[in-house]
Amino acid sequence: MLRRQQGWLCVLLMVCFEAVADSGVAPAVAWDQLSLQQAELVFAGNNRDLLAAKRAIESAEADTLIAGQKPNPVLSLGLSSLNLNRGQGNKNQNGKRDLLDQTYNSAVQVTQLYERGDKRALRSAVAESAVKASRLDLGETYRQQALAMANAYFDLKLAQESLLIQQANVSSYEKTLQAAQLRLKAGDVASADVARIRVDALRASNDLRQAEATVQKAQAMLAYLLGKDQDASKLRVTDPWPALITEPSANPAAEKDTGWLPQRPDVKAAEARMEQAQQTRKLAESLKVRDFTWSFAYQHFPGQEPGSAPDTIGASLSIPLFTNYQYEGEAARAEVGYTSAIEARERVQAAAIAEMRQAKADLDAAIDKNRRFDQSILREAQNAADAAEFAYKHGAMNVMDLLDARRILRTLQLEAVSVKADYAKSLSAWLAATRQAFVYQE
């Protein structure tokens, strides 16, 4: 009976990260029974690369505030015409002696730059395109890190199952060694055979210790991606291996279908940067439109002539003259940036298609290998090992052939779980590459 598995790969199926990550609160998780869905929630709120990408968005949003501001006016205060002649300096010819009647030339001036050519709007457009690209970069970071987290999850599952196989192997050798020692006392087997069994038992113990170290390394990697390094030793994953799906290449048009391509965040980010480069090109062209600076001044200069007013006002207008340089360099640089952005978009699209094709090839191969193991290899190896055990117990096979049969079975068992892990990771890579939604069934 078909039933849906509990969303173990939803980490790869999210189109937008912000809705999950902005919650900012990690759920209560039983680390020794960690499902991939629970790992996704912890990952979304604590992964360090995602947090860094969010900081980049906040920085880009701050740039939009800078880009959209008008130039500030400048206030100038001045005092001149100070006569250093003691006693006679700065006397008012009208006979007045108050401080404001002294013949100091005091001035207050306000200067304002007025931008033309829609420079402020273009700066804002450039900054907003940068924010859009940064948000899409966050989505791409999420896609890549989510794939890395899924791979680390299945690496830990592979390490756990390999450890179980090694534990069972050690236990089997211990039982065989005990039985062989009893048979040795009874004179039923040679001491050389017991020594060979003991050597293989010691080798199995070494393999078990290596498997334990592999589990610890896989725990450390998954914990790092989850942002929970302090809980690494507690991690134990519980989701089953994904069931096999129909090959993605079963449809002859599958490879030519690129409907998924515009939905990839790296492709959309490249398009946003192309828009940003286009706005930058317009901004560079707008530099050729002359800005002007106006100023308004109030001047207080009493005592110039008898009966003259001490207060005057004035205004001025400054216009740059493009006699030496007309911003050709800025325009050329912006043009090169736009061309580079177009080429970058094409490069990202080509890389995305190549990633999909590689993932599909890996997935096809993994599906084939899994079917061979599930349908014949493991079953035949188990039958051969069981037959060897039976033959050895009844004296029809020597100990070397028995040990060889066991080694072959153990190797194939380890290879079988490795093949399942390869399938799970290649399926994750294919889904991440094509941005497809998929519900696993068994």
Residues 6+ apart with CB under 8 A from 52: none
Q: For the chain, what is the total number of helices (H) and then of strands (E)?
A: 9, 4
Q: Across the strands, what pairs with 312?
A: 299
pLDDT (0 to 100) of residue 308: 66
Whether the CB-CB separation of 89 and 83 falls below 8 Å is answered with yes
Give residue 105's pLDDT.
82
Give the number of residues written for the chain: 442
The whole-angstrom separation of Cα 432 and Cα 265 is: 11
Which pLDDT belongs to residue 303? 67
Tokens of 174: 């211990």
Domain map of the chain by residue range? 10-70+115-288+326-434, 71-114+289-325
Per-residue pLDDT of the chain (442 residues; tens, 9 = 90+): 333 333 333 333 343 334 444 444 445 678 889 999 999 999 999 999 999 999 999 999 999 999 999 999 999 999 887 766 655 555 666 556 566 666 778 899 999 999 999 999 999 999 999 999 999 999 999 999 999 999 999 999 999 999 999 998 898 888 878 877 887 887 777 888 788 888 888 998 999 999 999 999 999 999 999 999 999 999 999 999 998 886 555 443 455 567 888 889 999 999 999 999 999 999 999 999 999 999 999 998 876 666 667 788 999 999 999 989 999 999 999 999 999 999 999 999 999 999 999 999 999 999 999 888 877 777 777 777 777 777 767 666 667 777 777 788 888 888 889 999 999 999 999 999 987 533 333 2
CA atoms within 13 A on the CB side of 227: 18
Contact indicator for 387, 379 with CB cutoff of 8 Å: no
User: So what's the pLDDT on residue 28?
Assistant: 66
In 3D space, the residue among 360, 336, 115 whose CA is nearest the CA of residue 248 turns out to be: 360
Q: How far apart are CA 214 and CA 217, in angstroms?
A: 5
Strand partners of residue 314? 297
Task: Supply the pLDDT for residue 87.
Answer: 56
Domain 10-70+115-288+326-434 is of which CATH architecture?
Answer: Up-down Bundle (1.20)
* Per-residue tokens: 136: 């899409």
Q: Which residues contact 296 (CB under 8 A, 6 or more apart)?
A: 109, 110, 313, 314, 315
Q: What pTM did the predictor assign?
A: 0.79
| DSSP secondary structure letters along 18-76 | HHHHTT--PPP--GGGB-HHHHHHHHHHH-HHHHHHHHHHHHHHHHHHHHTPPPPPEEE
pLDDT at 438: 35
- pLDDT of 253 reads 40
Residue 297 bridge partners (DSSP):
109, 314
CA-based nearest residue to 32, from 215, 178, 243: 215
Q: What token pair was written down for 321?
A: 């003259």
Closest CA to 237 of 156, 146, 150, 152: 156
Rounded CA-CA distance 440/276 in Å is 40
Q: Pull the structure tokens for residue 390.
A: 């039976």
How far is Cα 349 from Cα 266, in angstroms, rounded to an integer? 8
